Amino acid sequence: MNQNLKNGLIAIVLIAGCVWAGSRFFGAVKSSENNVDFPEGAIWYCPQEDKEFSVSLDDLAAWYESNGDVPYPCPSCGSTNTLRRQAAVH
């Protein structure tokens, strides 16, 4: 059940990414609409727990400011072996 939920979520993220890329490509969508997809900022992925978490752009900027290019730590297990999945509009 959880697996289904997760797969659905990943599909939505992928579709949203395609839609976002498509709309950027055609230049028909205003930038303000892009913010609706990822209002929290950036989506990150923790391979250790196989789960995603979001980081606000403010938090991300603050983290990079003091830690350089170290990936943002997972809020759940604290690992910095994380991957950035998708960014909101800069």
Chain residues binding Zn ion by CB under 5 A are 46, 48-49, 74, 76-77
Determine which helix (DSSP H) or strand (DSSP E) holds 84, and give its type and residue range. strand 83-86
Find residue 46's DSSP bridge partners.
Answer: 51
If 0-12 CB within 10 Å is exposed, 13-18 middle and 19+ buried, where does residue 44 land?
buried
Smallest gap from residue 33 Cβ to Zn ion (A): 31
Nearer to Zn ion, 56 or 76 (CB): 76
Q: What is d(CA 30, CA 55) in angstroms, rounded to the nearest whole number?
A: 23
Nearer to Zn ion, 7 or 79 (CB): 79
Which residue in the block uniquely carries the two structure tokens 């950035």? 84
Smallest gap from residue 13 Cβ to Zn ion (A): 18
Nearer to Zn ion, 35 or 79 (CB): 79
Smallest gap from residue 4 Cβ to Zn ion (A): 21
